[in-house]
Amino acid sequence: MRNDIEGILLSEAQIQARVKELGARLAEEYRDKNPVMICILKGSTMFFADLLRAMPIPLTMDFMAVSSYGRTTKSSGEVEIRKDLAGSIEHRHAIIVEDIIDSGFTLTYLSRMLSARGAKSIRICTLLDKPARRAPGITLKADYSGFEIPDAFVVGYGLDYAEMYRNLPYIGILKPEVYEKN
């Protein structure tokens, strides 16, 4: 796999240090709130697992899977829910945990949809933010963000290309020849 990577954008040590900082901040702010942490499958699994272990407070976890077809129907920005949350978030403080904000369609849709379910609060925690890619008209901002990154094709630490590379412990830039040959 390493041969397909042009360079390392964020090392394992950089990621782990930043995730611990984010976890400590969230733990402080949510100490008495018993938040429900929402993992958006599959990209945020690694971040979610490390972030929650850096939060030594009472919390629960839930999972949701959405399709990325929001990005191909840019006019509507609609997102298809493939797997919904198992539990209710009514009267809960919810934190949506994402690996990356790109166009912003997915999280704009999700935060609106989950707001309608009567949560006490909804905040967004993303590991990566690519502000240069934000779609016109999208004003969404993360409440907690690990790193702002340039518009490069990144994989690893949960992020994939064609479902591969998610298990790399760092975030790397994929060589263009890997995705250009398909």
129 binds ligand PRP (CB under 6 A): no
Among 18, 42, 141, 175, binds ligand PRP (CB under 6 A): 42
160 binds ligand PRP (CB under 6 A): yes
Task: Give whichever of 42 and 175 is closer to ligand PRP, judged by the CB atom.
Answer: 42
Tell me the pairing of strands 121-129 and 93-101: parallel
Judge whether 50 counts as a catalytic residue. no
Q: Which of 84, 102, 151, 160 is catalytic?
A: 102
Least distance to ligand PRP from the beta carbon of 160, Å? 5
Task: Give whichever of 34 and 167 is closer to ligand PRP, judged by the CB atom.
Answer: 167
Report the chain's terminal Cα–Cα distance, integer Å: 17
Looking at the DSSP assignment, which residues form a beta bridge with residue 123? Answer: 95
145 binds ligand PRP (CB under 6 A): no
104 binds ligand PRP (CB under 6 A): yes
Please classify residue 59 by burial: count the beta carbons closer than 10 Å to its beta carbon, then call 0-12 exposed, 13-18 middle and 19+ buried.
Answer: middle
Least distance to ligand PRP from the beta carbon of 66, Å? 6
The residues of the shown chain that bind ligand PRP, judged by CB under 6 A, are 40-43, 68, 70-71, 98-106, 160
